[in-house]
Amino acid sequence: MTLKSLNTDKSWTLFLDRDGVINKKLDNDYVKHWIEFEFVEGAFMALRKLSTVFGKIVVVTNQQGIGKRLYRTEDLELIHKNMQYEIAYHGGRIDSVYFSPHLHSENHPTRKPGIGMALQAKEQHPEINFEKSIVVGDSMSDMEFGRKAGMKTVFISETKKTDPLIDYNFSSLYDFSEAL
């Protein structure tokens, strides 16, 4: 099945992981301040195109650095505000951002692969239909999150990965946007 066969339109929702999809991941570290946030190549062009395809674009991101007290919720909110501003400035959009500050060890329902952030998004945007949603992420917890919620899954990696949780593989958000 190809992406085009899904017939995505404005009734569809795109769920995006943040680190490794929109911005570069830091090796063995967290993006704690805006100055450390660097968009991945092609992110602006991808988000500009995706904004014309999807009715809602939502970011869902685990941020256990808050739980580890490496940065504050206020720091993260400023990062997200600046991220949304830059994306809008370049012609794209992010409608909402959800994050889970909980530690992996807490097994909190909002922390991916739990679907708490998807449920928060649906509560805020009742028109979201998980069967007409795609999640794009670079970890297997993103894929499990999508599968548990009933979404299509897109795995972002330089190397193709075969797993029952993955519907599609792309090397970047830009490559995914070009395939639609």
pTM (whole model) above 0.95: yes
What residue ranges define each of the domains in the chain, with the CATH number in brackets?
3-179 (3.40.50.1000)
**pLDDT tens across 104-158, in order?**
999 999 999 999 999 999 999 999 999 999 999 999 999 999 999 999 999 999 9
Q: How confident is the model at residue 1 (pLDDT cuts 50, 70, 90)?
A: low
**pLDDT tens across 32-81, in order?**
999 999 999 999 999 999 999 999 999 999 999 999 999 999 999 999 99
Catalytic residues: 17, 19
- For residue 173, the number of C-alpha atoms closer than 13 Å in the C-beta half-sphere is 29
